[in-house]
Amino acid sequence: MEQLFDVSLFASTIRMITPILLAALGGAICARVGLFNVGLEGLVLIGAFSAVVGNHFTGNVWMGVLFAIFCSMLFSGLLAYLSINLRANVIVVGIALNFLAAGLTTFALRALFNVKGAFFDKDMVGLPKWEIPFLKDIPVVGNVLDGILSGHSPLVYLSFVLVIGLQFFMFKTVTGFRLLAAGENPTAARSLGIKVTSIQYGAILLCGVFCGLAGAQLSLGNVTMFTENMTAGRGFIALVATMLGQSNPIGVAGSSLLFGFMEALSVRLQGFSLPTHFTSMVPYVVTILAMIVFKDKSYLQEARKANESSR
């Protein structure tokens, strides 16, 4: 048991959840304005790829992150335009976006770097690892905390700040309330003079920013390379984390932690050649059970009504 649960398990949990958490926060904002964003996977993939591109061509890791944010925002803008202005079904557009992202990134990988499968450059520098000072000096638990919390990329710490910031923004600021109102009852919100369309646009673009950060963490934080389809379903896991967390930033953080922990545990179990299938399954089963307990909130009902028919 002690071999199974040690400091490095929790440290790798934190590393693993960050992309999921960031994308899930983006998904939560979209869900709150009544748009169910299935395109998270594609947005994160675009972010991961453009982060590497930006880093490679500017030689600066932060320019890479900025470029990732920019590209993901561009794509989320496409999603917003098609689903808000052109009233295309947001789920259909999301699915198409995932395809487009997968195709475009592999295509651009070939067109820009003339490689297939993966791009790796030994001179490319990833995101720095930050050590938290003074953490080691805390008595008794200091070393454990340091082992878990120190030595991650700045984006990891940023993601935790964003959770709290978003929670504050949604439930304590006027703009946040307007955002919630726009999702819960667009007609009523509009009658009060809230600009629902611009709020929806803002939410989707913000989601793009989050997904860009998630992608950058994936391709510059966890590793320093881009591989074809490197999101490997993380966008969909983020979608599930959004649902499990009831689109509540803190809840989303909790459910992302569960997913990350189970993923890290699965990796660990693999080392002991034990079946990992059931540990990997736990988060999904928990989500289904949780959905029975927490009934659909009204904003989701709205989202569902809008998406029930394929036409």
Partner 1 sequence: MDKVKQAMRSLLQPLLAIIVGLIVGAIAIAVVGGDIIETYKEMWKGAFGSTFFLTNTLSRATPIILIGLGVALAFRAGFFNMGSEGQMVLGALSAAVAALYIPGPAWMKLIAALIAAIISGGIWSALAGWLDAKFRMNLLITTLLLNYIAVLFAGYFVAYPLKDKTGSAAMAQTAMIDKSVWLPKLFSGMSLHAGFVLALVGMLLLFFYMKYTVRGFETRMLGANPLFASYGGVERGKLMLISMFVSGGFAGLAGAVEVLGTQYRYIEGSLTTPGYAWSGIMATLLAGSHPIGTAAAAILIAALQTGGMGMERNTEVPLEVSEIIQAALILFVSARFTYTFIKRRKKARG
The torsion angle over the Cα atoms of residues 290, 210, 222 and 134, rounded to 10 degrees, is -90
Helix axes 154-172, 174-184, angle to 10 degrees: 80
State yes or no: residue 197 binds partner 1 (CB under 8 A): no
Burial 151-172 (b: 16+ CB within 10 A, else e): ebbbbbebbeebbeebbebbee
Among 1, 111, 161, 174, binds partner 1 (CB under 8 A): 111
- Smallest gap, in angstroms, from Cβ of residue 29 to partner 1? 17
State yes or no: residue 309 binds partner 1 (CB under 8 A): yes
State yes or no: residue 240 binds partner 1 (CB under 8 A): yes
- CA-nearest of 120, 116, 121 to 228 is 116
State yes or no: residue 275 binds partner 1 (CB under 8 A): yes
CA separation for the pair 144, 148 (Å, rounded): 6
CA separation for the pair 310, 256 (Å, rounded): 30
Contacts with 304 (C-beta within 8 Å, 6 or more apart), sequence order: 296
Among 89, 150, 185, 197, binds partner 1 (CB under 8 A): 89
- Smallest gap, in angstroms, from Cβ of residue 139 to partner 1? 43
| Terminal-to-terminal C-alpha distance of the chain | 53
- Smallest gap, in angstroms, from Cβ of residue 247 to partner 1? 12
- CA-nearest of 170, 193, 164, 196 to 183 is 196
State yes or no: residue 86 binds partner 1 (CB under 8 A): yes
Footprint (CB under 8 A) of partner 1, residues 289-308: 291-292, 295-296, 300, 304, 307-308
State yes or no: residue 213 binds partner 1 (CB under 8 A): no
Q: Which two tokens stand for residue 51?
A: 């982060």
State yes or no: residue 141 binds partner 1 (CB under 8 A): no
For residues 14 and 156, the answer to whether their CB atoms sit within 8 Å is: yes
State yes or no: residue 74 binds partner 1 (CB under 8 A): no
Among 5, 99, 168, 171, binds partner 1 (CB under 8 A): 99
Size of the site for partner 1 (CB under 8 A): 47
Footprint (CB under 8 A) of partner 1, residues 218-237: 236
Nearest to partner 1 of 4, 281 (CB atom): 281
State yes or no: residue 165 binds partner 1 (CB under 8 A): no
Contacts with 136 (C-beta within 8 Å, 6 or more apart), sequence order: 142, 143, 146, 150
Helix (H, G, I), strand (E, B) or coil at 51: helix
Nearest to partner 1 of 135, 228 (CB atom): 228
State yes or no: residue 45 binds partner 1 (CB under 8 A): no
- Smallest gap, in angstroms, from Cβ of residue 243 to partner 1? 5
Binding site residues, partner 1, CB under 8 A: 36, 82, 86-89, 91-93, 95-100, 102-104, 106-107, 110-111, 116, 236, 239-240, 243, 275, 277-278, 280-281, 284-285, 287-288, 291-292, 295-296, 300, 304, 307-311
